[in-house]
Amino acid sequence: MLSKANSLTGIKVASLIIGLLITLPANAALDELFRLYVGGSVAEMDTNVRFTSRDGTIDEGIDLEDDVGYDPSVNTAFIRGWYRVGDNHRIALTFVPSNRTSFLETQEDIEIGDDIIKAGAVMAWDTQNRLLDVSYIYSLYHRPHIELGLSAGVYWLRNETEVLVAGEVQSPNEPDPIFRADYKNSFKLHAPLPILGLILEYELNPSWRVHGVMRYLSVTINEYDGRVFNAEIGTEYFFNKSLGLGASLTSFALEVDVESIILNGALRWNHNGGQLYMVYKY
């Protein structure tokens, strides 16, 4: 009986949604000239960096959350917007900065490039990320209440991770560990990664909208071998013709391997979380 009741309830809900889609108001319109989003996000991050020697003899990854004490919960701000240059053409831009730090005494040996930081050393870590997302969106299907766009763009990631150490360090050219109070090493990655995807937006009524985003690309460009995945589902409620409040759930994954004359390393970066933001449209 309970299963039958649940089935009937599901049918009623589905019928209600279908009826709502069929009877959308005629004055709904996804035709604004531009849109601006400003807000913040809370995400659970998983980050792995690899400091390697040029000959590749050491390639142990360092998990910044598990190995060096970075807080996996990260709060960041972001700004995003797009401008409609034609009925079916938009240019979009997103900027997301984030800074993370950690200070700890090592409980075990840690490999950084060719060096081994011995247990008991004091380490200070600092990571700065700057993510710039630039894309062009072409509307494959555009009606007053729905717009489906194909996006093509570039994720430009700038990651700089630095570690300072005071403690015993085992270098490959030294027979025994040496105490150093000024050890320093860094990982820098400036990587432009192309990405393709689909963006769907639906206007339920003049005040309420929902959207979904799915983007991905795996590509090798010169010394960069990278993969990017981004998914988002969210909704916005508009208090008037211009100003609204939005919320979304996001998932992001990035992998970059670099092999060049001056750097040989890798970055793995994953985060899942939520966003809350204000939106302005015109």
The per-residue pLDDT for 218 is 84
**CA 261 to each of CA 158, 191, 264: distance values in angstroms, whole numbers, following the listed order:** 19, 15, 8
Q: What is the pLDDT of residues 167-208, one digit of tens each?
A: 999 888 888 888 999 899 887 777 788 899 999 999 999 899
DSSP 4: H
C-alpha to C-alpha distance for 72 and 271, rounded to whole angstroms: 9
**Residue 6 CB burial class (10 angstroms; 0-12, 13-18, ≥19):** exposed
Give the mean pLDDT of 249-258.
Answer: 86
Q: When comparing pLDDT for 201 and 57, which is higher?
A: 201
Range list of H helices, the chain: 2-22
Dihedral of alpha carbons 241, 243, 248, 250, sign:
positive
The per-residue pLDDT for 230 is 92
C-alpha to C-alpha distance for 96 and 94, rounded to whole angstroms: 7
**Nearest to 71, CA basis, from 112, 105, 43:** 43
The pLDDT of residue 1 is above 50: no
**Nearest to 64, CA basis, from 107, 99, 101, 105:** 101
The per-residue pLDDT for 187 is 78
Dihedrals phi, psi of 12, to nearest 5 degrees: -65, -45
The pLDDT of residue 53 is above 60: no
Give the mean pLDDT of 207-230.
Answer: 85
The pLDDT of residue 246 is above 90: yes
The per-residue pLDDT for 248 is 97
Report the relative pairing of strands 264-281 and 243-259 from DSSP bridges: antiparallel
C-alpha to C-alpha distance for 36 and 137, rounded to whole angstroms: 16
The per-residue pLDDT for 26 is 36
Q: End-to-end alpha-carbon separation of the chain, Å? A: 51
The per-residue pLDDT for 259 is 65
Give the mean pLDDT of 115-143.
Answer: 93
Determine the longest span between alpha carbons in the chain, in angstroms. Answer: 79
The per-residue pLDDT for 151 is 97
What single-letter amino acid sits at 109?
Answer: D
Give the mean pLDDT of 121-146.
Answer: 93
The per-residue pLDDT for 110 is 87
